A and B are shown apart, each in its own frame.
Chain A
Amino acid sequence: MWGIIRQSAGNRGLSISKSQFRCLVQGARSYSSASKEMTVRDALNSALDEEMSADPKVFIMGEEVGEYQGAYKITKGLLDKYGPDRVIDTPITEAGFTGIAVGAAYHSLKPVVEFMTFNFSMQAIDHIINSAAKSNYMSAGQISVPIVFRGPNGAAAGVGAQHSQCYAAWFGACPGLKVLAPYSSEDARGLLKAAIRDPDPVVFLENELLYGESFPVSAEVLDSSFCLPIGKAKIEREGKDVTITTFSKMVGFALKAAEILEKEGISAEVINLRSIRPLDRATINSSVRKTNRLVTVEEGFPQHGVGAEICASVVEESFEYLDAPVERIAGADVCMPYAANLERLAVPQIEDIVRAAKRACYRSTSMAATG
Chain B
Amino acid sequence: MAFSAKIIQPLPLFTTRSDNKNINNLSSPFVGSTYKLRLPTPIISSSRPHFGSASVVAVKSEVIKDSKKPKSDASSNLLITKEEGLEVYEDMILGRAFEDMCAQMYYRGKMFGFVHLYNGQEAVSSGFIKLLKKEDSVVSTYRDHVHALSKGVPASQVMSELFGKTTGCCRGQGGSMHMFSKEHNVLGGFAFIGEGIPVATGAAFTSKYRREVLKEADCDHVTMAFFGDGTCNNGQFFECLNMAALWKLPIIFVVENNLWAIGMSHLRATSDPQIWKKGPAFGMPGVHVDGMDVLKVREVAKEAVGRARRGEGPTLIECETYRFRGHSLADPDELRDPAEKAHYAARDPITSLKKYMVENNLATEAELKAIEKKIDEVIEEAVEFAEESPAPSRSQLLENVFADPKGFGIGPDGKYRCEDPKFTEGTAQV
Contacts and interface: CB of A to CB of B under 8 A. Distances in A.
Contacts of A329: 425-428
Interface stretch (A140-148, A155-163, A231-239): A155-163
B401 A333 contact: yes
A85 B2 contact: yes
A84 B429 CA distance: 51
Interface stretch (A21-29, A35-43, A216-224, A341-349): A341-349
Interface string A153-192: 0001111111100000000000000000000000000000
Interface stretch (A8-16, A90-98, A131-139): A90-98
Nearest to A63: B264
Given A92-B193, A163-B191, A340-B164, A348 B426 contact: yes
B209 to A, nearest CB: 27
B26 interface: no
Identify which of B165, B392, B425 gathers the most chain A CB atoms within 10 Å of its CB. Answer: B425
B30 interface: no
Given A341-B392, A352-B428, A160 B398 contact: no
Interface string A96-139: 10000000000000000000000110110000000000000000
A67 interface: yes
A149 to B, nearest CB: 17
A151 interface: no
A340 B110 CA distance: 10
Contacts of B264: 63-64, 67-68, 89, 91-92
B275 to A, nearest CB: 12
Interface string B389-430: 001101011100100000010000000000000011111111
Interface in A14-71: 63-64, 66-68, 71
- The number of chain B residues touching the other chain, given as a range, is 35 or more
A88 interface: yes
Interface stretch (B14-22, B31-39, B226-234, B302-310): B226-234
Contacts of A5: none
Contact of B233 (A71, A91, A302, A341): A91
A84 B233 CA distance: 20
Q: Which 5 A-B pairs have the closest CB atoms?
A: A338-B175, A158-B113, A158-B112, A68-B263, A339-B164
A332 interface: yes
A66 B173 CA distance: 34
Contact of A96 (B112, B113, B192, B235): B235
B324 interface: no
Interface in A331-371: 331-335, 337-342, 345-349, 352, 355-356, 367, 369-370
A289 interface: no
A150 interface: no
A367 B429 contact: yes
Given A330-B425, A339-B391, A370-B428, 14 more contacts: A68-B262, A89-B3, A91-B233, A91-B269, A92-B264, A122-B192, A123-B194, A157-B112, A330-B426, A332-B398, A332-B424, A337-B396, A338-B161, A342-B173
Interface of A is mostly: loop
Nearest to B170: A338
A328 interface: yes
A332 B422 CA distance: 11
Contact of A346 (B192, B193, B397): B397
Interface string B268-304: 1110000000000000000000000000000000000
Contact of A332 (B1, B170, B263, B397): B397
Contacts of B191: 159-160, 162-163
A162 B426 contact: no
Given A85-B3, A333-B423, A337-B172, A157 B113 contact: yes
B379 interface: no
A167 to B, nearest CB: 14
B50 interface: no
Interface in B220-251: 230-231, 233-235
Nearest to A355: B428
A333 B231 CA distance: 31
A333 B264 CA distance: 36
A328 B421 CA distance: 11
Contacts of B268: 67, 89
A369 B430 CA distance: 10
A160 B235 contact: no
A335 B192 CA distance: 16
Contacts of A66: 4
B263 A67 contact: yes
Interface in B136-164: 161, 164
